[in-house]
Amino acid sequence: MNHTDHDQANLVTKVRESIRRIDGNLVKRMQGDEGMIGYIKNLEETNALIPGEANCLNFSCWCNFGLYDIDFGWGKPIWVANYVSTDSCNSPKLNDVMFLDTRDGKGLEVYATLEEQYAAALDKIEELRSLISINPSPPELKHL
């Protein structure tokens, strides 16, 4: 087994171990009035497992949450977008990737705040670039 095969096998093992940690207790902690406290506790436990020298990419998916069906009294949104979160130093939080549905439900919007090394690596993937399109701006969406 060469070094690359070993790294890939090790990655698969780590992913499987991580998925096994998603159980009823993990989910239950995030429910009810204390749900946010449980969510933070889950994050703290997960972060404690990550070695300090690790390069991390954080992914979250908000697809199929029905965000375009929510009406707070002034109508349904014409565009749902992510914001750039910040860390305690008020600098952009890097290496976050968030997936959201498009308004028509037929596509996917990806919001990524990445360190330059990751952005440069993604830019080199020709197959990925062929899937990217620029959506109209929010004012243009109200006419769709």
Least Cα distance to 78 among 123, 141, 9, 6 occurs for: 141
- Residue 140 confidence (pLDDT) above 70: no
- Residue 143 confidence (pLDDT) above 60: no
Residue 141 shares a structural domain with residue 74? yes
Model pLDDT, residue 86: 55
Residue 67 shares a structural domain with residue 130? yes
Model pLDDT, residue 56: 79
Residue 125 shares a structural domain with residue 143? yes
Model pLDDT, residue 74: 92
Residue 62 shares a structural domain with residue 125? yes
**Predicted confidence (pLDDT) per residue in 18-75, tens digit:** 888 888 888 888 888 888 888 888 888 887 887 877 777 888 888 999 999 999 999 9
Cα distance between residue 49 and residue 43, in whole Å: 10
- Residue 134 confidence (pLDDT) above 80: no
Model pLDDT, residue 69: 93
H/E/C letters for each residue in the chain? CCHHHHHHHHHHHHHHHHHHCCCHHHHHCCCCCCHHHHHHHHHHHHHHCCCCCCCCCEEEECCCCCHHHCCCCCCCCCCCCCCCCECCCCCECCCEEEEEECCCCCCEEEEEECCHHHHHHHHCCHHHHCCCCCCCCHHHHCCC
Residue 39 shares a structural domain with residue 80? no
pLDDT band for position 138 (cuts 50, 70, 90): low
**Predicted confidence (pLDDT) per residue in 81-106, tens digit:** 876 655 544 555 678 888 999 888 88
CATH code of the domain in which 88 resides: 3.30.559.10
**Residue that wins the pLDDT comparison between 68 and 143:** 68
Residue 75 shares a structural domain with residue 139? yes
Residue 82 shares a structural domain with residue 135? yes
Determine the structural domain holding residue 7 and report its residue range. 1-54
Residue 137 shares a structural domain with residue 81? yes
Domain tally, the chain: 2
Model pLDDT, residue 63: 92
